[in-house]
């Protein structure tokens, strides 16, 4: 089997953690590295959390890189109210002993995309897009080398989770999102519209708890992470956002969506970071993204439980 080479760009974050564990547990995936960015919590914590997750998976050889510590042109907005002070609240795990790579994450992205055969590396951003946009701006020659970008971010019917009109990953760095969505790379977007159909119900969290060695940690993270969304939406559970990207690479048939145009609002304070998704194709703007609207949630959680139990 030819493994799928991917780089996950991340701001762990409990849901990021499950996405990373899913990638590490899946033989179809060749995880070239984790590039960390400021988002849910500041960069020093996202770079620490990424290594905590790798050590939980007993994969200390995974290369973890620290990247940008703030958005391109704005002040950093974080989400400790959702993820807790550490970004991985819910269970206390040992501080990491594995090293952080010396190379800056942006330099790693550029170097890897220049040296790997063109069209073989997939980027999975599950965080604000600062690292990806910075790499594209600094080295535009890498853009045609990217096989595909599968990102978690944006919203259409679900509108916004950090403002009435914007989803967190896009809102934190809308200028970066504008660059990525306008780069012309094959782009698959996992917006709130699909992640809100992948809720962590009690049954699903209990299935996590029994999923092998890492199960209890995943269930504790989910128990903590879901309280915010349950209270806000009055839902039975919380959307498990980020693993949708890796799950899509493993089982694309679990997901459905449509090729549409998606533009990013960067000019209006009122709707800053909105993904203006032309779902009904009412404009003449050319499609630039596969915008995913639906998921087989039972299939998604079954895949997660099956793979997490392998670690």
Binding site for Ca ion (CB under 5 A): 11, 13, 16, 126-127, 242
Query: According to CB under 6 A, which residues from 124 to 153 bind ligand RIB?
Result: 126-127, 152
Phi-psi region of 252 (alpha: psi -120 to 50; beta: other; left: phi over 0): alpha
| Rounded Cα gap, residues 182 and 91, in angstroms | 39
Q: Identify which range of 9-17, 55-63, 111-119, 134-142 contacts ligand RIB by CB under 6 A.
A: 9-17
71 binds, among ligand RIB, Ca ion, none (CB under 5 to 8 A by kind): none
What gap in Å lies between CA 136 and CA 106, rounded to an integer? 9
Active-site residue flag, 241: yes
147 to each of 143, 202, 265, 277, how far by Cα in Å? 9, 37, 26, 23
Binding partner of residue 245 among ligand RIB, Ca ion, none, CB cut-off 5 to 8 Å per kind: none
Beta-carbon count within 10 A of 250 CB: 16
Q: Which residues of 30-63 are buried (b: 16+ CB within 10 A; e: fewer)?
A: ebbbbbbbbbbbbbebbbbbbbbbbbbbebeebb
Catalytic residue among 83, 145, 196, 241: 241
> 169: closest CA among 304, 58, 46, 1?
46
Question: Tokens in use for 17?
Answer: 């953690």
Query: Which of Ca ion, ligand RIB, none lies near 167, with the C-beta cut-off 5 to 8 A by kind?
Result: ligand RIB
- Which of 4, 7, 11, 176 forms a contact with ligand RIB (CB under 6 A)? 11
Q: Phi and psi at residue 28, in whole multiples of 5°?
A: -70, -15
- Contacting residue, 6, 8, 9, 16, with ligand RIB by CB under 6 A: 16
> Which residues lie below 8 Å from residue 75, measured CB to CB, with a gap of 6+?
none
Least gap, CB of 253 to ligand RIB (angstroms): 23
Residue in 51, 145, 204, 241 binding ligand RIB, rule: CB under 6 A: 241
Q: Which does 244 bind (CB under 5 to 8 A by kind): ligand RIB, Ca ion, none?
A: none
Contact call for residue 263 and ligand RIB (CB under 6 A) = no
Closest CB to Ca ion among residues 54, 260: 54
Residue in 65, 75, 67, 176 with CA at minimum distance from that of residue 130: 176
Cα 35 from Cα 140, distance rounded (Å): 19
Residue selected from 78, 112, 130, 169 as contacting ligand RIB according to rule CB under 6 A: 169
**Window 30-49: contact mask with ligand RIB (x via CB under 6 A):** ---------xx---------
Q: Return the number of the residue (65 or 168) whose C-beta is nearest ligand RIB.
A: 168
Binding site for ligand RIB (CB under 6 A): 11, 13, 15-16, 39-40, 126-127, 152, 161, 167-169, 241-242
Residues marked active site are found at 241
């Amino acid at each position: 089997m030819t493994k799928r080479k991917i780089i996950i760009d991340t701001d762990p974050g409990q849901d990021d953690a499950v996405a990373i564990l899913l990638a590490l547990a899946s033989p179809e995936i060749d995880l070239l590295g984790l590039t960390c960015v400021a988002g849910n919590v500041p960069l020093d914590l996202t770079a620490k959390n990424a290594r905590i997750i790798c050590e939980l998976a007993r994969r200390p050889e995974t290369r973890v890189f620290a990247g940008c510590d703030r958005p391109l042109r704005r002040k950093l907005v974080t989400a400790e109210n959702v993820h807790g002070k550490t970004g991985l609240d819910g269970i206390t795990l040992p501080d990491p002993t594995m090293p952080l790579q010396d190379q800056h994450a942006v330099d790693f992205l550029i170097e890897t995309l220049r040296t790997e055969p063109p069209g073989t590396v997939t980027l999975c951003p599950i965080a604000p897009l600062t690292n990806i946009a910075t790499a594209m701006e600094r080295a535009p020659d890498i853009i045609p080398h990217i096989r595909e970008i599968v990102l978690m971010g944006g919203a259409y019917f679900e509108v916004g989770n950090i403002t009435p009109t914007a989803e967190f990953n896009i809102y934190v760095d809308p200028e970066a999102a504008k660059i990525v969505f306008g780069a012309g790379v094959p782009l698959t977007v996992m917006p709130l519209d699909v992640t809100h159909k992948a809720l962590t119900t009690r049954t699903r969290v209990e299935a996590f708890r029994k999923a092998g060695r890492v199960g209890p940690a995943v269930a504790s993270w989910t128990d903590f992470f879901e309280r915010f969304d349950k209270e806000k939406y009055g839902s039975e559970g919380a959307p498990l956002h980020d693993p949708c990207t890796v799950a899509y690479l493993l089982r694309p048939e679990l997901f459905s969506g449509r090729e549409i145009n998606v533009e990013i609002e960067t000019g209006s304070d009122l709707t800053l970071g909105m993904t203006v998704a032309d779902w009904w194709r009412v404009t003449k703007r050319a499609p630039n993204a596969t915008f995913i609207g639906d998921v087989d949630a039972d299939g998604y959680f079954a895949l997660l439980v099956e793979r997490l139990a392998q670690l």
